[in-house]
């Protein structure tokens, strides 16, 4: 069990939710859920938009801890975290540098790879590359090296927005366009056939621990935006229906990735285990979803803890590691 | 690894096996989620069809409220009849007369916005697989209702003069040849949402003649008819045929917050609508109905509609000027009233796929696919000019031009997507 908060004092927590990213809607829902849990834990909670009043609201609210529940650009790219660091107020989650490294999936893949973690073969290209070179030729060269099926995704985006699974060559151009509308850099990655896993990591100050692995089984076979946020469209298994050995390997991948990227307090590592039992790192989330269908809250519940108690402990850990 | 409890399967919906088949037509969408950013002031929204209620002096409503509460406050906060307030229905007769409709208030039913009237009528007529004929493009809120009743929506070719009578006959013949049952023709004949086009005067009797001959009911939805800029719209289809079901609304000529609309229907159908409404809601809001009734009595509501016309005319001009300046090569409709421009994009551009880029560039529009029940419409988008100021409209269309240019460049880089 995650160690529980013993605090009797009323922690004042400002939650930042909303923002202007493509994931604003999810952020608002995450923020509301985290606020509800923290209120239940007895904290003094206020939800704020990260808008032109950000700094004045921090001055006015005088929070002990700020909890950014901001998914997507702005919340996860490090910019806001740099600003929060300037205010001197403790905040939950990765530092600006950690967030930057994790937010860009192509950089995260390089770093975890160096730490000995397996990640699917991929090529990362800005759209200018295709404009300047012969697009058909570049795509052909890629598919000669990485065979179909492929996954095309924006290098910096979340909630599976702009992600396509490409099974044959004539689908690739469209997938590239769909990725580039979200981000100027796209990753073309080898598709790994297997079981999708989400491993949440929590660090309350005495080192990161991996929570029970959650298995994701979308009814349609694809874990896209709709499947993530429509109740009933995905079956989740917590803990995952995998052997203890695979679960331990998945936990190790998550912990190693969390450390390699320099993350803190909480993260969620998305991975896939193939039919041979190899766990492949896909991406790290420094501000994982906290909605009613999100994976980190499921992992906490599967571990036997209450959301309110764990969230309060995370906020207290943030206060200690200011 | 921490100790864990036994594996638990969860799909977050314990009633999944219990839902009606209809309920499975409802799910979240990525496009809808993208619209969440519209509430941020940085984003110029050309998306939602919101009336500019700031042009309505609140003193007029305050005056109506005080007068209404003084005269009939107890009635206003009580249950009412399922057909709607009798006094308001009398007043509606005068409003409908402007567009040539002469009908008895007894054939009117007041509803919770005309959207609810549409739902009630659809519920009375549609079984799974029934055909609804509609303009192409058609109102997204109607498509949602028809889909919910699992109807097949057959779009009929529509040009700058509205729905084509020739195409309508062809669609009817096609559906009949397939052995399908056509339940009604749904039309927004004036300044249609989303196209902005108005059904030409000479086409109206032709449409009626076809539908009478084929025994097809017409559902005429007219929320924008009084919001013309230069000349009044032709008389309503209902004025030419008492069997037409006519839907009206106060959402655009007053304010949508009241949620008051109405439906005029032949007596037998009217009775069914009343029963269906009583079953669903007991009665429409008496408070809203009496507020509107009093507003119509104490305020110069026609002058207020004139004010709205002036506001929307200025915004339509701003939108068309900006289109000429920033996107001169794109085809757009040129509405003579209402809220919308319908824009045709360069070949190969999918407006729905482009929306994330637009949001990144801080402008929002509604993708054309929203207005078709058959998945088409990718090459179009709707611009709503009713809510942003002329300056914001100009800025929004300038940003839209940047988005379209970026997307065009991307498409050209990768060749045509299809």
Angle at B401 between CA B400 and CA B403, to 5 degrees: 65
- From chain B, the residues in CB contact with A304 under 8 A are 3-5
Strand B131-136, strand B152-159: pairing: parallel
Which residue range forms the structural domain that includes residue B356? 23-49+303-412
Here the CATH number for the domain that contains residue B356 is 3.90.1150.10
Q: Are residues B42 and B137 in the same domain?
A: no
More confident residue, A271 or A140: A271
Tens digit of pLDDT for each residue in B322-337?
A: 999 999 999 999 999 9
Q: Are residues B294 and B378 in the same domain?
A: no
Distance from CA of B12 to the nearest CA of A (A): 5
CA distances from A280 to A108, A188, B210 (A): 13, 15, 63
Task: Please say if the pLDDT value at position A4 is more than 70.
Answer: no
Q: Are residues B185 and B87 in the same domain?
A: yes
Q: What is the mean pLDDT of residues B389-409?
A: 97
Which residue range forms the structural domain that includes residue A72? 12-93
Q: Are residues A79 and A107 in the same domain?
A: no
Residue of A nearest to B42 (CA): A20
Q: Are residues A214 and A298 in the same domain?
A: yes
Of the candidates B180, B189, B169, the one whose C-alpha atom is nearest the C-alpha of residue B245 is B189
Q: Are residues A104 and A248 in the same domain?
A: yes
- From chain A, the residues in CB contact with B40 under 8 A are 18, 20, 24, 51
Residue B5 lies in a domain: no
Q: How confident is the model at residue A22 (pLDDT cuts 50, 70, 90)?
A: confident
Q: What is the mean pLDDT of residues A167-175?
A: 92
Q: Which one of B3, B12, B360, B409 makes the best mutation probe of the A interface by having the most chain A beta carbons within 10 Å?
A: B12
pLDDT at A2: 67
Predicted-complex ipTM score: 0.85
Task: Please say if the pLDDT value at position B6 is more than 80.
Answer: no
Distance of CA B114 to the CA centre of its chain: 9
Residue B188 lies in a domain: yes
Tens digit of pLDDT for each residue in B124-177?
A: 999 999 999 999 999 999 999 999 999 999 999 999 999 999 999 999 999 999
What tokens appear for A202 in the block?
């929590």
pLDDT at B109: 98
Tens digit of pLDDT for each residue in B55-110?
A: 999 999 999 999 999 999 999 999 999 999 999 999 999 999 999 999 999 999 99
Q: Rounded to whole angstroms, how far apart are CA atoms A239 and A295?
A: 11
Q: How confident is the model at residue A151 (pLDDT cuts 50, 70, 90)?
A: very high
pLDDT at B258: 97
Q: Are residues B153 and B262 in the same domain?
A: yes
- Mean per-residue pLDDT over chain B, rounded: 94
Whether the CB-CB separation of A161 and B356 falls below 8 Å is answered with yes
Q: What is the mean pLDDT of residues B114-121?
A: 97
Residue of A nearest to B17 (CA): A232
Q: What is the mean pLDDT of residues B301-328?
A: 97
Across the interface, which of A26, A247, A292 has its CB nearest the CB of B1?
Answer: A247
Q: Are residues A216 and A299 in the same domain?
A: yes
Task: Please say if the pLDDT value at position B3 is more than 60.
Answer: no
Q: Report how many Cβ contacts below 8 Å link chain A to chain B.
A: 130
Whether the CB-CB separation of B107 and B265 falls below 8 Å is answered with yes
Q: What is the mean pLDDT of residues A99-124?
A: 96
Whether the CB-CB separation of A179 and A154 falls below 8 Å is answered with yes
Crossing angle for the helix pair A105-114 and A244-260, to the nearest 10 degrees: 110
Q: Rounded to whole angstroms, how far apart are CA atoms A154 and A103?
A: 11
Q: Are residues A146 and A218 in the same domain?
A: no
Domain boundary among B283, B298, B313: B298
Number of domains in chain A: 3
Here the CATH number for the domain that contains residue B260 is 3.40.640.10
Q: Are residues A144 and A48 in the same domain?
A: no
Number of domains in chain B: 2
pLDDT at A293: 87
Residue B391 lies in a domain: yes
pLDDT at A42: 95
pLDDT at B417: 45
Residue of B nearest to A292 (CA): B12
pLDDT at A160: 79
Q: Are residues A280 and A216 in the same domain?
A: yes
Check if A191 contacts B (Cβ < 8 Å): no
Q: Are residues B213 and B258 in the same domain?
A: yes
Task: Please tell me what DSSP assigns to residue B337.
Answer: B
Across the interface, which of B3, B9, B40 has its CB nearest the CB of A235?
Answer: B9
φ/ψ of residue B350, rounded to 5: -105, 115
More confident residue, B10 or B408: B408
Task: Please say if the pLDDT value at position B37 is more than 80.
Answer: yes
Distance from CA of A91 to the nearest CA of B (A): 24
- From chain A, the residues in CB contact with B411 under 8 A are 177
How buried is residue B26: exposed, middle or buried, by Cβ count under 10 Å (0-12/13-18/19+)? exposed
φ/ψ of residue A266, rounded to 5: -155, 150
Q: Are residues B200 and B264 in the same domain?
A: yes
Q: Are residues B123 and B254 in the same domain?
A: yes
Whether the CB-CB separation of A197 and A216 falls below 8 Å is answered with yes
Residue A227 lies in a domain: yes
Task: Please say if the pLDDT value at position B418 is more than 50.
Answer: no
Residue B266 lies in a domain: yes
Overall pTM > 0.95: no
CB–CB contact A229 B33 (8 Å): yes
Domain boundary among B282, B298, B314: B298
CB–CB contact A127 B410 (8 Å): yes
Angle at B86 between CA B82 and CA B90, to 5 degrees: 135
Task: Please tell me what DSSP assigns to residue B241.
Answer: -
Q: Are residues B84 and B174 in the same domain?
A: yes
Q: Is the peptide bond before B86 cis (omega within 30 degrees of 0)?
A: no
Q: How far apart are the first and last CA of chain B?
A: 48
Domain boundary among B271, B298, B325: B298
> How large a percentage of chain A has pLDDT more than 70?
97
Task: Please say if the pLDDT value at position A219 is more than 90.
Answer: no
Whether the CB-CB separation of A187 and A152 falls below 8 Å is answered with yes
Task: Please tell me what DSSP assigns to residue B398.
Answer: H
Residue A55 lies in a domain: yes
pLDDT at A15: 98
Tens digit of pLDDT for each residue in B337-356?
A: 999 999 999 999 999 999 99
CB–CB contact A173 B410 (8 Å): no
Q: Are residues B239 and B120 in the same domain?
A: yes
Crossing angle for the helix pair B390-414 and B351-360, to the nearest 10 degrees: 120
pLDDT at B416: 53
Domain boundary among A139, A160, A190: A190
């Amino acid at each position: 069990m995650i160690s529980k908060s013993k605090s009797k004092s009323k922690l004042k927590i400002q939650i930042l939710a909303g923002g202007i990213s493509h994931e604003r809607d999810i952020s608002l829902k995450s923020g509301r859920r985290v606020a509800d849990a923290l209120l239940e834990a007895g904290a003094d909670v206020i939800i704020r938009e990260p808008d032109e009043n950000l700094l004045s609201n921090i001055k006015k609210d005088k929070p002990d801890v700020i909890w950014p529940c901001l998914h997507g650009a702005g919340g996860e790219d490090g910019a806001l975290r740099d600003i929060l660091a300037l205010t001197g107020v403790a905040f939950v989650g990765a530092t600006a540098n950690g967030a930057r490294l994790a937010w860009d999936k192509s950089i995260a893949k390089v770093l975890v790879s160096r730490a000995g973690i397996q990640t699917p073969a991929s090529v990362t290209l800005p759209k200018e590359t295709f404009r300047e070179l012969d697009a058909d030729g570049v795509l052909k060269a890629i598919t000669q090296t990485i065979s179909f099926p492929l996954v095309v995704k924006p290098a910096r985006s979340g909630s599976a927005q702009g992600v396509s699974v490409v099974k044959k060559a004539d689908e690739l151009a469209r997938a590239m366009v769909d990725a580039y509308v979200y981000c100027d850099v796209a990753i073309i990655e080898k598709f790994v056939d297997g079981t999708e896993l989400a491993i949440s990591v929590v660090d309350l100050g005495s080192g990161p621990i991996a929570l029970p692995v959650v298995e994701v089984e979308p009814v349609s076979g694809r874990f896209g935006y709709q499947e993530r946020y429509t109740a009933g469209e995905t079956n989740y298994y917590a803990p995952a229906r995998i052997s203890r050995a695979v679960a331990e390997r998945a936990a190790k991948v998550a912990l190693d990735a969390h450390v390699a990227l320099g993350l803190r307090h909480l993260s969620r590592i998305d991975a896939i285990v193939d039919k041979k039992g190899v766990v492949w790192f896909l991406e790290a989330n420094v501000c994982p979803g906290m909605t009613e269908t999100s994976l980190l809250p499921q992992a906490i519940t599967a571990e036997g803890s209450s959301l309110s108690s764990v969230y309060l402990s995370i906020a207290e850990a943030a206060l200690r590691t200011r | 690894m921490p100790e864990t409890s036994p594996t638990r399967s969860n799909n977050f919906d314990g009633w999944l096996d219990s839902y009606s088949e209809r309920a499975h037509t409802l799910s979240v969408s990525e496009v809808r989620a993208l619209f969440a950013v519209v509430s941020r002031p940085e984003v110029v929204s050309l998306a939602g069809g919101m009336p500019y209620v700031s042009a309505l002096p609140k003193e007029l409503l305050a005056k109506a409220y005080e007068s209404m509460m003084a005269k009939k406050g107890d009635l206003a906060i009580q249950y009412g009849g399922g057909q709607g307030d009798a006094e308001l229905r009398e007043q509606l007769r005068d409003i409908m007369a402007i567009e040539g409709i002469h009908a008895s208030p007894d054939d009117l039913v007041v509803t919770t916005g005309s959207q609810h009237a549409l739902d009630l009528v659809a519920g009375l007529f549609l079984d799974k697989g029934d055909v609804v004929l509609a303009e192409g493009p058609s109102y997204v809120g109607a498509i949602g209702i028809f889909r919910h009743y699992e109807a097949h929506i057959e779009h009929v070719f529509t040009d700058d003069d509205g729905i084509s009578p020739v195409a309508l006959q062809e669609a009817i013949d096609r559906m009949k040849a397939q052995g399908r049952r056509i339940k009604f023709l749904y039309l927004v004949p004036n300044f249609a949402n989303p196209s902005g086009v108005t059904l030409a005067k000479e086409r109206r009797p032709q449409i009626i003649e076809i539908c009478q001959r084929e025994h097809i009911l017409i559902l005429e939805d007219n929320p924008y008819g009084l919001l013309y800029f230069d000349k009044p719209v032709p008389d309503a289809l209902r004025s030419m045929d008492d069997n037409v079901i006519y839907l009206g609304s106060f959402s655009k000529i007053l304010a949508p917050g009241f949620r008051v609309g109405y439906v005029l229907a032949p007596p037998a159908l009217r009775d069914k609508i009343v029963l269906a409404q009583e079953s669903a809601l007991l009665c429409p809001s008496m408070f809203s109905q009496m507020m509107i009734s009093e507003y119509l009595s104490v305020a110069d509501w026609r002058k207020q509609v004139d004010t709205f016309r002036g506001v929307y005319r200025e915004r339509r001009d701003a939108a068309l000027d900006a289109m000429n300046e920033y996107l001169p090569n794109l085809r757009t409709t040129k509405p003579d009233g209402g809220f919308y421009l319908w824009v045709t994009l360069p070949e190969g551009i999918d407006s729905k796929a482009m929306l994330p880029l637009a949001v990144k560039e801080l402008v929002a529009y509604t993708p054309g696919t929203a207005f078709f029940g058959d998945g088409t419409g990718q090459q179009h988008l709707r611009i709503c000019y009713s809510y942003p100021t002329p300056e914001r409209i100009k800025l929004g269309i300038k940003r839209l031009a940047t988005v379209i240019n970026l997307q065009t460049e991307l498409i050209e880089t990768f060749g045509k997507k299809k």
